[in-house]
Amino acid sequence: MAQRYIRPFFRSTCIAIFFLGSTVEAGLYEGACFAKEASTSHLLIRTEEGILIRPEEKRRCYAITRSESGEDCQEVIPCQWNLVDEGIGTIELAAEEEGTLIPLMEPIHLDDIPYATQALATKGYTLNPHVDKAIWNSLLPYFLPESHPAKEALDKIFTVKERVTLNEKSLKKAGFKIVQKGQWSKMIVAGHRYLDGYLVKLYTDDEPDTIDWAKCKDRVKGAKSASVCISKNNWNHLFKVPQKWIYPLPAEPSPPHDMKRKNFILVVEDMRLIPEEANKTRWASKEISKEQLKALYWLLKLEGLRDCVYPFNLPFSVDGRIALIDTEFHHEWPVPFGKMTKFLTGNAQKFWAELLESGGSAQ
């Protein structure tokens, strides 16, 4: 007898579930699969406050099956979605057929699907006609939630008659104070009097060679991954990572046709950093401990944070912790650890060299 199942959901996989007699869309939010009826916008599989919810009625659906020869095929089977508790924090989705629960999916660990509730919280955003629908949907899990305290202020700042992100001059006219502009990335970091506790990172429309949505998405994903790594290794007393969200800009007003429209900006927590020169001095001082250096080595190695080997991307906060503010390049190896050496001095520089030579085992 063929074994019925739906393949495990990986980050790059999108599994479609097709229901007979109705039009549905299917998608994947970082591990949480859902099917949505176009006519009712009803989520057939979703996460709300950490709980998976399923419809009550039975439906006939296509399921992926595997024959005895190992080949995959599609077969129509009657099923009802049921949730089977496989242990604390673990849910398995199953189909009921002839009185038997047949697993359709590997167990979902709720801790592994942090973006499912985020997807529901951002359903109020309207698709920008200047953005490809597939790109828009891929970014939904990272959008600033409708209930976020900065959302109303951002709407007020950007819902105006003149294009705010046209250039640096238009940003300043809208009330932004530019804190920094990346020498290579050209990304602008700016604050606004309406955004207490938050900053924005963005590219202006006069920057021609930047794909804003990809850059923003990479930075959010890198920040989330690094934050999880820090917590798992009990390094929260040493490091912190700003929470980051994507804010979709209004479709209008549009920039001139000879400029490259930017459709998204980043909203980030203000890490309350010490001044740049003070940060350079701190990294070159005797205050840098072996504990900090060893944890930093392993954090960069585990997360592939290849651009976090410079003090300007590892600034100290006023609370004494190191802030990882640039997480665009993550899970990219090898990490050029040696570039950090020249910014250290004395025993710190010596210990860093020992870490590199020993592969992180130096004491």
Reference 360, options 302, 313, 307; nearest CA is 302
CA atoms within 13 A of residue 254's CA, in its CB half-sphere: 9
More confident residue, 20 or 347: 347
d(CA 103, CA 128): 39
- pLDDT tens for residues 121-151? 455 688 999 999 888 888 888 899 888 999 9
Q: Are 291 and 278 in contact (CB under 8 A)?
A: no
Q: What is the pLDDT of residues 172-219, one digit of tens each?
A: 999 999 999 988 889 999 999 999 999 999 999 999 989 999 999 999
What percentage of the chain reaches a pLDDT higher than 90? 59
| H/E segment holding residue 212 | helix 212-232
More confident residue, 170 or 17: 170
Q: Which of 120, 159, 157, 160 shows the shortest CA–CA distance to 140?
A: 120
* Residue 271: closest CA among 200, 311, 191, 325: 325
* 63 vs 79: CA distance, rounded Å: 10
Q: Are 280 and 218 in contact (CB under 8 A)?
A: no
Task: Please state, in angstroms and rounded to a whole number, the distance separating the CA atoms of residues 284 and 342.
Answer: 9
Is the pLDDT score of 348 beyond 60?
yes
Instruction: Give the chain's mean pLDDT.
Output: 75
Distance CA 239, CA 27 (A): 34
Is the confidence at residue 6, as pLDDT, over 60?
no
Rounded to whole angstroms, how far apart are CA atoms 358 and 363?
10
Coil, strand, or helix at residue 65? Answer: strand
Mean predicted confidence (pLDDT) in 76-89: 36
Token pair listed for 221: 């994903």
Residue 52: count of CB within 10 angstroms of its CB: 19
- Give the count of alpha carbons within 13 A of 65, CB side only: 17
What type of residue sits at position 47?
Answer: T
Q: Residue 311, Cβ neighbours under 10 Å: how many? A: 19
pLDDT value of position 123: 54
What pLDDT does residue 138 have?
Answer: 83
Confidence label for 73 from pLDDT (cuts 50, 70 and 90): very low
- Does 51 have pLDDT greater than 90? no
Taking each helix axis as running N to C, give the angle between helix 290-303 and helix 346-358, from 0 to 180 degrees, rounded to the nearest 10.
40
Distance between CA atoms of 230 and 248, rounded to whole angstroms?
29
* CA 175/CA 38 separation, integer angstroms: 41
Cα 314 from Cα 239, distance rounded (Å)? 9
